[in-house]
Amino acid sequence: MKIVFRKIIRLFIQLGIDWFTPALLIMIVLAWFWPEGGLGQGAFSLKSLAGYGISVIFFLYGLRLSVRQLIGCLSNWKLHLIIQSVTFIVFPVLILLFKPLFDQTSYEMLWLGAFFLAAMPSTVSSAVVMVSLANGNVPAAVFNASVSSIAGILIAPLWLGLVLASGSESFDMLPVLIKLGYQVLLPLIAGVMLNKWFGKTAIRFRNYTRYFDQTVILAIVYTSFSNSFTSGLFDNLGIGVILVLILLLLVLFGLINGFIFVVTRKAGLDMPDTITALFCGSTKSLMHGTVMAKVIFGTAATGGVILLPILIYHALQLTITGIMSQQFSKRNDK
């Protein structure tokens, strides 16, 4: 048994999957069996503490962000344009095309979760790590992941506001933008302003502060799914629906990567830039997803259903990009 367990852990490490992905699954199971822990109210409830944690996450992210380094990477505009266009235009538009198929059905909320996933910015740390392992353009990966994270704070809610406002129920975007301003943007700006003095320290201890980020995400996932399970929103979603969702997200990942590969070849980009475009353009940030879900949907019972596609996509992208990085690395070593 121990040998099998060690082999599983070794496989996870090779694929770039750490303890965090299984922990996300545990939070969902915990919310299923014991939702009461995620339903508390008050200044010191788990929901409130997760809200405070969001601001700390973006303050620490701002501390690690060097504007000078970002400016130095502006010259490779073709690569940046491809990545950002795929992240914020191609992804959402592709999902938006399928909206009529889900209108007025019991799976409409799942479609909204898929669109929510599509509107998110690129992931930061895992994309950069995978690009490095695959011998891609690491500075360009850092640039695009950082720009995507900042731009996504505004672009993602605007996409969501456009879709939600077009629905049968009215949706006021102004309170969401105000909340994003003081809970996300202000801490981020404060961190960037202090980067000159504390940036190196923040980078040095990023492996430790990462655990804080992940703990906040786990808390948001737990409280969101607690609300959804309590409200019975998952009652009609059997294992068959989940398996179909996984298959569709795999197809989505393949389509996006195929599109990126064709476009980069047409644009005449070299292989390191192509690798960077693939890893930065096809991945989505779980951190931004959980944060945006809490800010936009608050304590609504739909939070867990909205997060389901991005949680599944997170696991898929880690596994597939881990395999891709190994293949690119072997190819470059020949």
DSSP for 136-183, written as a single string:
--HHHHHHHHHHHHHHHHHHHHHHHHHHHHTSSS----HHHHHHHIII
Number of neighbours of residue 35 by Cβ within 10 angstroms: 19
Burial class of residue 66 (count of CB atoms within 10 Å of its CB; 0-12, 13-18, 19+): middle
Q: All domains of the chain, ordered by start, with CATH?
A: 2-333 (1.20.1530.20)
CA 222, 223, 227, 233 torsion-angle sign = negative
**How would residue 11 be classed by pLDDT, with cut points 50, 70 and 90?**
low
Residue 217 has pLDDT above 80, yes or no: yes
Task: Specify the range with the lowest mean pLDDT, choosing from 15-24, 79-88, 193-202.
Answer: 15-24
**How would residue 14 be classed by pLDDT, with cut points 50, 70 and 90?**
low
Cβ(91)–Cβ(222) below 8 Å: no
pLDDT at 43 (0 to 100) = 62
User: Cα–Cα distance between 85 and 65 in angstroms, integer?
Assistant: 22
User: Cα–Cα distance between 269 and 261 in angstroms, integer?
Assistant: 10
pLDDT at 131 (0 to 100) = 92
Residue 69 has pLDDT above 80, yes or no: no
The more confident residue out of 129 and 78 is 78
**What are the CA-CA distances from residue 57 to residues 183, 185, 211, 259, 301 (Å)?**
10, 11, 11, 33, 24
| CA–CA–CA angle 193, 148, 310 (5° rounding) | 120
pLDDT at 309 (0 to 100) = 95
- What percent of the chain has a predicted confidence (pLDDT) above 70? 90
**Roughly how many angstroms between the first and final C-alpha of the chain, as a whole number?**
37
Residue 4 has pLDDT above 70, yes or no: no
User: Cα–Cα distance between 118 and 252 in angstroms, integer?
Assistant: 10
Mean pLDDT across 64-70: 82
Cβ(55)–Cβ(187) below 8 Å: yes
**What are the CA-CA distances from residue 228 to residues 31, 107, 306 (Å)?**
9, 14, 10
* Half-sphere exposure of residue 123: CA atoms within 13 angstroms, side-chain side: 25
